[in-house]
Amino acid sequence: MIEAQRRALAAFLAEATGAEAAELLEVTRLGGGAIQENRALEVRFSGGRLDGTRRLVLRTDAPSRIAPSHGRIEEFRILELAWRAGVKVPEPIARCPDPGPIGRPFYVMRHLPGEARGIRIVRDPLVREHGDLLLAELARQLALIHTIRPPRPELDFLSVPEEAAPRRIREYRGYLDSIDAAEPVLEYALRRLERTAPESAELVLVHGDFRTGNFLVEEGRLVALLDWEFASWSDPLEDLGWFCARCWRFGAIEREAGGIGDREVFLRAYEEASGRRVDRERLLYWEAMATLRWAVIALLQAQRHRSGAESSLELALTAHLLPGLEQDLLAYLTRLEGE
Amino acid sequence: MSEREETAALLGTARDELRQRLMPGLAGEDRYLAAMIANCMAIAARVLERGEETTEAERRALAGLYGSEIGELPLEALRRRLARDIRRGLFDGEPEVRLKQALEVRIRARLAIADPARLRAPGGETSGRGAIAP
């Protein structure tokens, strides 16, 4: 970040928090997702609601982002709603739709401690020993998110679908077509999931990327849920399926709830907190859908690299995840036939 | 040794140097990047060694779903045709059994290049970023 941008950002932060002045002491890049960029800020505020020296996180879009994710300004509005509902999230501080200060729209939230990397979390000895506690906390948070129902005027940019599953199938076909992909295994999965789509009993706010790797853990306990850019109105089982799907266990295949612990422990905690009964067969359907979704996103990410929009070895290698995801997908479809 | 085999062996030697001599001195992001580079080299070596064979295995499996005329098409054209026909519902119902068998051949052929560990232990260890930087 160049000096003029730092000054403009400090001035923006001072005004947004009612401070007389703000000084940017330090800016460091945080490991972020493939879709956005995160920077840690250390800011000294004089006066205002954050008076003192504070650690904040600034989040902007990566140079090119993939179609299904929201931009930062929409994500901020979702984060605010979750914060007000009492969900464990970093406190939203300010948003800036004007690209002026740093050249791109961004928002700022409170910096929180903890580990987010999935591979570290599933190998953390405390998590391995007390995974049930973490699962129960996650289940309660998810149940809380799922109490938010449409319509919500502040989320007017989220469309309310008639049915959750057919909407996803339309979306995923659209993404495949947008990059001119000819993928017989994914087409077969789309066709099967289309023909067996369950009706959704209700539509709620789903996080949309609720999985190990997208929450902060410290000393084995949940600190906060991150990465709200895929939130939408959908079937609550979509979040549960994404969390439990085989592709998000970071090598801890036998711990079926996010590589953390037992699936039934997680599901029972969710049932207790939400008052819903989780239909296990329908959950399997949504796990298949989750695997399909990751496969489609992996293709989109690989395409970003191939098209030259964003050259990255990690994005390029994402394409090589496809055959493994396809193997999972066929296994899920076979299990669904047998149910 | 054919030129392909020699080139694959060359990549293998370079990869060993990277993993055994350079990687132990790296940490954090740099180590992750080096692991990704090593993985790319392994993929490239497998393409040289087995690429033609796996492409032909996949092509034969997909061609087997069609009569002789379409069955002569190259893999890319066959794949496009099949993807379109599946979406149109032409493989719904009874043909689905044969379709799944052919798709399994396709998956195994591609795993042989991208992530052969999964062929040895289906349902095994790799997941998440497994195929990116093992």
Judged by DSSP in three states, A33 sits in coil
CA distances from A268 to A11, A12, A132, A237, A280 (A): 49, 46, 11, 14, 11
Question: Residue-wise pLDDT tens for chain B (134 aa)?
Answer: 899 999 999 999 999 999 999 999 999 889 999 999 999 999 999 999 999 999 999 999 999 999 888 878 999 999 999 999 999 999 999 999 999 999 999 999 999 999 999 998 655 444 444 456 54
A323 vs B: CB within 8 A: yes
In terms of Cβ atoms closer than 10 Å to its own Cβ (0-12, 13-18, 19+), residue B13 is exposed
CB B90 within 8 A of CB B96: no
Instruction: Spell out which residues of chain B touch residue A250, defining contact as CB-CB under 8 Å.
Output: 127-129
pLDDT at A70: 80
Least CB–CB distance from A251: residue in B89, B92, B130:
B130
3-state secondary structure chain B: CCHHHHHHHHHHHHHHHHHHHHHHHCCHHHHHHHHHHHHHHHHHHHHHHHHHHHHHHHHHHHHCCCCHHHHCCCHHHHHHHHHHHHHCCCCCCCCHHHHHHHHHHHHHHHHHHHCCHHHHCCCCCCCCCCCCCC
Q: Which chain B residue has its CA at the smallest distance from A327's CA?
A: B107
Beta bridge partners of A38: A30, A59
> Which among A173, A183, A323 has the least Cβ separation from residue B115?
A323
CA distance A217 to chain B (A): 18
Its sign, for the CA torsion B39, A114, A206, A34, is negative
Test A182 with B80 for CB contact under 8 angstroms.
yes
Q: Which residues pair with A55 in a beta bridge?
A: A42
pLDDT for the residue numbered B127:
41
Residue A163: is its pLDDT beyond 60?
yes
Q: Please state, in angstroms and rounded to a whole number, the distance separating the CA atoms of residues A172 and A176.
A: 6
User: Which residue of B37, B65, B86, B118 is the best one to mutate when testing the A interface, meaning the one whose CB has the most A CBs within 10 A?
Assistant: B86
How large is the average pLDDT for residues A300-310? 88
Residue A253 sits at the chain B interface (C-beta within 8 Å)? yes
Chain B residues within an 8 Å CB radius of A287? none
List b or e across A180-205, with b for residues whose CB sees 16 or more CB atoms inside 10 angstroms.
Answer: ebbbbbbbbbbbbbbeebbebeebbb
A195 touches chain B (CB under 8 A): yes
Percent of chain A with pLDDT over 90: 83
- Report chain B residues whose CB lies below 8 A from the CB of A330: 100, 103-104, 107
Please answer yes or no on whether A327 and B86 come within 8 Å at the CB atom. no
Partner A contacted by B118 (CB < 8 A) = yes
**Confidence class for position A97, pLDDT limits 50, 70, 90:** confident
Tokens 């990465």, residue?
A227
Interface touch B131/A321, C-beta < 8 Å: yes
A115 bridge partner residues: A217
Best CA proximity match to A43, nearest among A31, A60, A56: A56
pLDDT at A239 over 60: yes
Give the mutation candidate from A29, A115, A187 for the B interface (greatest B CB count, under 10 A). Answer: A187
Residue A146, pLDDT > 70, answer yes
CA distance B39 to B126: 13
- Is residue A65 over pLDDT 70? no
H/E element, A27: strand A21-30
Among candidate residues A308, A129, A300, the one with its CA nearest the CA of residue A221: A129
Q: Shortest CB distance from B128 goes to which of A251, A313, A316?
A: A251
Q: Where are the domains of chain A?
A: 3-110, 118-338
Q: What confidence category does residue A32 fall into, taking pLDDT thresholds of 50, 70 and 90?
A: low
Omega before residue A151 within 30° of 0, cis? yes
User: Nearest-CA neighbor of A266 among A142, A145, A139?
Assistant: A139
- Taking an 8 Å cut-off on Cβ atoms, the answer to whether A119 and B128 are in contact is yes
Q: What is the DSSP string of A194-235?
A: HHTPPPPS--EEE-S--STTSEEEETTEEEEE---TT-EEE-
CA atoms within 13 A on the CB side of A113: 4
In this model, does residue A133 exceed pLDDT 50? yes
* C-alpha closest to that of A121 among A203, A218, A204: A218
Q: How many CB pairs under 8 A join A and B?
A: 114
Q: What residues pair up with A27 in beta bridges, in sequence order?
A: A41
Cβ atoms of residues A193 and A159 within 8 Å: no
The Cα A126–Cα A120 span in angstroms is 11
Distance between CA atoms of residues A96 and A75, nearest Å: 12
* Average pLDDT of the segment spanning A51-74: 82
Minimum distance, in Å, between the CA of residue A189 and any CA atom of chain B: 10
The three-state secondary structure class of A43 is strand
More confident residue, A103 or A230: A230
pLDDT for residue A103: 86
B116 to chain A, minimum CA–CA distance in Å?
A: 10
Q: What is the mean pLDDT of residues A61-90?
A: 85
The superfamily (CATH) of domain A3-110 is: Phosphorylase Kinase; domain 1 (3.30.200.20)
Which of A119, A190, A330 lies closest to B107 in CB terms? Answer: A330
B86/A191 touch (CB, cutoff 8 Å), yes or no = yes
Identify the CA nearest to B108 among candidates B51, B58, B62.
B58
The model's pLDDT over A110-127, given as tens digits with 9 standing for 90+, comes to 999 999 999 999 999 999
Range A276-284 average pLDDT: 96
Q: What angle do CA A74, A77, A81 make, to 5 degrees?
A: 145
Q: What is the pLDDT of residue B1?
A: 84
Closest chain A CA to residue B107: A323
What would the CATH number be for the domain defined by A118-338? 3.90.1200.10
